[in-house]
Structure 1
Amino acid sequence: MRMTTVWGAALLVLGLAAGPAAADSTPSASPSGDASAPTSAGTSFRTATEIEQGRTATASASTGDYLYWSFAADALERPTVRATVKLPASHAAQTWQVDVYDGLRRRQACQYGAQTRTAAQGAAEVEVECVLRTVRAWSEPWADDPLPGTYYVRLTTVRLQTADLGRPVDATVRVESKDVGGSAAVDGWLAEPLVPGVAVTSQQNGKDDDSARTAVLSGIEPDGGWSSGWWSDRWVWTGIGAVLAALAGIGGYVLTRGTGRPGRVPPGA
């Protein structure tokens, strides 16, 4: 009876703790609707259009232009960037490429995905994709690991016939992330996310002088703000292991301690 109680408690603890941990492994929810999604793209890093994850941004441009967007990615996320370009009715073969840079403007390698694709002559559209490595909460200064902060998306052609230069195209870009969870957690975090200063805003104090203006990093950040980097579901599973180890010790004690009373010691022994 006691062993049944012990293992019942263990299963209850396991079920309660595994619930939130399992929720962390699901992809991040996408905001409903794209009514507020941007309809233009920047032409450089400094003018990159900010987009939110889960929303589809659109832009009209000319073949040969460099199109830039930026988005925020936090620790333990694995961002996926997908871009689709609708081409003119008639055109020669052309190659499109999507590149992703972090807040320090370091080009990030794609873990997988067709980063570069060639549209055959007369094709209606071309789609490129880049799945980044998991964003780490901390890394060595010399490493090139993805870190929390702003990421830039650059979409352009890399091989183009002169006759197609300047022809109108329509592009769509969408960024989504998968929450990888504690398997990618590290023992450390950045003091601040890698977000460059791109704007100046006034404090809400009714003043409009220089002393009332403070520099801000960026207008975009993940839902719920930037993660501090110390929490992950790895703590949940560590707690589960500790509880199960304690329950196993109690169970072993119950099984081995015996049920009989110790013999009485004779008087005078």
Structure 2
Amino acid sequence: MRVPKLLGAALLALGLAAGPAAADSASPSPSDDGGAPTEAGTSFRTATEIDQGETATANGSTGDYLYWSFPADTGQRPTVRATVKLPETHAAQTWQVDVYDGLRRRQSCQYGAQTRTAAADASTVELACVLRTVRAWSEPWANDPLPGTYYVRLTAVGLGTGDLGLPVSAELQVDSKDIGGSAAVDGSLGEPLVPGIAVTSARDDDESAGAVLSAIDPDDGWASGWWSDRWVWTAVGGALAALAGVGGYRLTRGSGRPSRVPPGA
């Protein structure tokens, strides 16, 4: 019976197909073109772009808004981690990290310490925000995370007058977990939510420089929602069902030929 051989071939095909799928959905690798950023923007339009996996740093003052942006693609569950190094002398401070999507809609955190209060003798405060899984498509009225640019805003809230302007330094890192076909949906965006507005600023009254927002994207391009590993499991499930049908037929058919009945018996 060749059913075991056919079953082994189907399982081998599953392994070969799942390999490229996992490689295609990997998180973007850190940038190799000059190291991680060492400053942060002060608004959405000047947010410093970072790749997933690299650690960005910035110096600022209490009361400042620090902004970064990063790309997140379909099937990823981003985790934003921020560490703020506080001055030696300060009162109790509350710090908060917020994440917004490409439409500047604030995204809720599944879990993580998004807001924390540092005691007066604390030297650092650590924050974290684990977003929901990025979906390939969503209803217009929904607030689901969609592929595109995401913005991180880090700031201290409710500061007293005496703590305004104190020097601080911050570290920010974004990583993602690939969820895969379990989060796949039927549908996809025409384009990722990546703002492409060009901003022009004057220098020395006669020189201008343009900065295009969100110039970075995943190293392997945007998935656009057309592929997920559930296609592999659907195909393999169909193949196994066909093999089961063939095997059942051969088992119930019998191995011997039917005996001939003599005429007139």
Same fold (TM over 0.5): yes
* Residue 113 (structure 1) shift: 0.5
Give the aligned partner of residue 108 of structure 1. Answer: 107
Could you state the TM-score of these two structures normalised by the residue count of structure 1?
0.87
For 1:32 and 1:44, the matched residues in 2 are separated by: 23
**Deviations 1:16-54 (CA, angstroms, capped at 9, x unpaired):** 444455x36996364377952111111111111111111
* Secondary structure at 1:255 match in 2: helix
Give the aligned partner of residue 169 of structure 1. Answer: 168
* Residue 263 (structure 1) shift: 2.2
* Residue 262 (structure 1) shift: 1.8
For 2:233 and 2:152, the matched residues in 1 are separated by: 36
For 1:108 and 1:253, the matched residues in 2 are separated by: 54
Give the aligned partner of residue 140 of structure 1. Answer: 139
For 2:4 and 2:224, the matched residues in 1 are separated by: 41
Q: Which moved more, 1:101-110 or 1:12-21?
A: 12-21
Give the aligned partner of residue 130 of structure 2. Answer: 131
**Deviations 1:182-212 (CA, angstroms, capped at 9, x unpaired):** 00011100111111123379xxxxxxxxxxx
Q: Which moved more, 1:2-11 or 1:187-196?
A: 2-11
For 1:108 and 1:135, the matched residues in 2 are separated by: 11
Instruction: Say whether 1:185 aligns with 2:184.
Output: yes
Conserved 8 A contact 1:58-1:171: yes
1:75-114 equivalences under 5 Å are 75-114=74-113
Conserved 8 A contact 1:199-1:218: no
Instruction: Say whether 1:237 aligns with 2:236.
Output: no
**Deviations 1:156-199 (CA, angstroms, capped at 9, x unpaired):** 01122221110100011111111110000111001111111233
Give the aligned partner of residue 9 of structure 1. Answer: 9
Gaps of 5+ in 1: 202-213
Give the residue type in structure 2 aligned to 1:53: Q
For 2:64 and 2:212, the matched residues in 1 are separated by: 29
Gaps of 5+ in 2: 201-209
For 2:83 and 2:33, the matched residues in 1 are separated by: 16
Give the aligned partner of residue 205 of structure 2. Answer: none
From the superposition, tell whether residues 112 and 26 of structure 1 become closer, same or farther in structure 2 (CA, over 3 Å): farther
For 2:109 and 2:139, the matched residues in 1 are separated by: 20
From the superposition, tell whether residues 24 and 183 of structure 1 become closer, same or farther in structure 2 (CA, over 3 Å): farther
**Deviations 1:56-78 (CA, angstroms, capped at 9, x unpaired):** 11111001101111111111111
Could you state the TM-score of these two structures normalised by the residue count of structure 2?
0.88
Q: CA RMSD in A?
A: 2.6
For 1:153 and 1:34, the matched residues in 2 are separated by: 22
**Deviations 1:98-122 (CA, angstroms, capped at 9, x unpaired):** 0001111110000110000111112
Give the aligned partner of residue 55 of structure 2. Answer: 56
What is the total number of aligned residue pairs between the two structures? 256
For 2:5 and 2:26, the matched residues in 1 are separated by: 37
Instruction: Say whether 1:227 aligns with 2:223.
Output: yes
* Secondary structure at 1:174 match in 2: strand
* Residue 227 (structure 1) shift: 1.2
For 2:17 and 2:5, the matched residues in 1 are separated by: 18
For 1:257 and 1:147, the matched residues in 2 are separated by: 53
* Secondary structure at 1:114 match in 2: coil
For 1:40 and 1:3, the matched residues in 2 are separated by: 62
Instruction: Report percent identity of matched pairs.
Output: 77
Give the aligned partner of residue 156 of structure 1. Answer: 155
Give the aligned partner of residue 205 of structure 1. Answer: none
